[in-house]
A and B are shown apart, each in its own frame.
Chain A
Amino acid sequence: MVAVPAVLLILTGACTGLVGALLGLGGGVFLVPILTLVLGVPIRAAIAASLISVIATASASATVNLNRGLVNMRLGLVLEVATSVGGLAGGLTAAHLTHRQLFVTFAATLAVMGVLMAARSGRRNVIPASEDVEPGLLGGRLREGETTYVYRLKRLPVALLSSLVAGAISGLLGLGGGIIKVPFLNTFCGIPIRVAAGTSTFMIGVTAAASAFIYFSRGDVSLPLASAVCLGALPASLLGAHLSDRVHARYLKILMAVVLLAVAARMAVAGL
């Protein structure tokens, strides 16, 4: 395998970890293309390193998000069941799709989500607690400064479907699935962007771990490569999780929209 300087890998992990933590992603959507196309790492080793980096980013972010009350644990648990089923089904489905069909479908979905997120970035999913609305079983409360808001989960079937798809792509592409979950939860399901991101960090660590053990046992993990990437991702994702509190929700959504469109373009090029 091509020897890549450790400093470069640490920097790569730091960049992907920082952006990932801001948006509730694991960073795999950036990391796999950078490792393979820019640094010449073989795809299996890149996916394995990405899964482990997702665990690092998710675990570090979740620590901050749990303390801030941004993780909706019950919602995360329910959606993670769908994700795990998706992971099992993903392998079966992928066998019937061509490389081109997979990538183009994924690219189209992300592109539509990116446009929707940008168009709806000014909308909020929160209700002032003063309006005396109950959050329901899978909703919750969110504190921003001195104000407490309530949010309710809408369209549970959509949330479950998005988690199912996220699980399917996770093991195949070395992603945590946050790139699907966060936009769907925020755009269609009434979940505030910070809670969607925080809950995602809780879920994607579990999702990535389920695949990571398999890759590790197969010997696909390049220990120096994965270690260097994680050493960059760990502190950067802590920083990203802390910074997300200082960024206005609208700008987080716009950043997410940009990421979605960039990844969609990259996937479309890979598929066509």
Chain B
Amino acid sequence: MGGLAVSASLLVAGLTLDRTDFLRWGILVLMATPVARAVVVTGEMLRERDWLFAAVSLWILAVLASSVYVAVGR
């Protein structure tokens, strides 16, 4: 929820003040929210020693990481 609040605040400020950099960061924070959630879920599975679902969660993190890697590489 904190990430969404930060994102919304940046977007409001960006549109109100016509600041593209605020908008860019607001969108990036928003896009990072599912990634952060996947990290938290992975940590929970590891803490519970649920190795099967920890591996599944790590796969999903790897897919997201590869997407970010491809995007950054452009």
Which chain A residues have a beta carbon within 8 Å of chain B's beta carbons?
A: 6, 52, 55-56, 58-60, 62-63, 73-74, 77-78, 80-81, 84, 87, 202, 205-206, 208-214, 216-218, 221, 223-224, 226-228, 230-231, 234
Contact = CB atoms under 8 A, between A and B. Distances in A.
Contacts of B4: 56, 59-60, 63, 234
B57 A77 contact: yes
A6 B12 CA distance: 11
A224 B4 CA distance: 17
A73 B54 CA distance: 11
Contact of A206 (B38, B53, B74): B38
A212 B71 CA distance: 9
Given A55-B31, A205-B33, A231-B8, A224 B67 contact: no
A209 B27 contact: no
Contacts of B26: 227
Interface string B18-46: 00100110111011011101100100000
Contacts of B33: 55, 59, 205, 209
B15 A228 contact: yes
Contacts of A58: 34
A209 B67 contact: yes
A227 B23 CA distance: 7
6 contacts: A56-B30, A77-B56, A84-B63, A209-B34, A216-B31, A224-B23
A223 B23 contact: yes
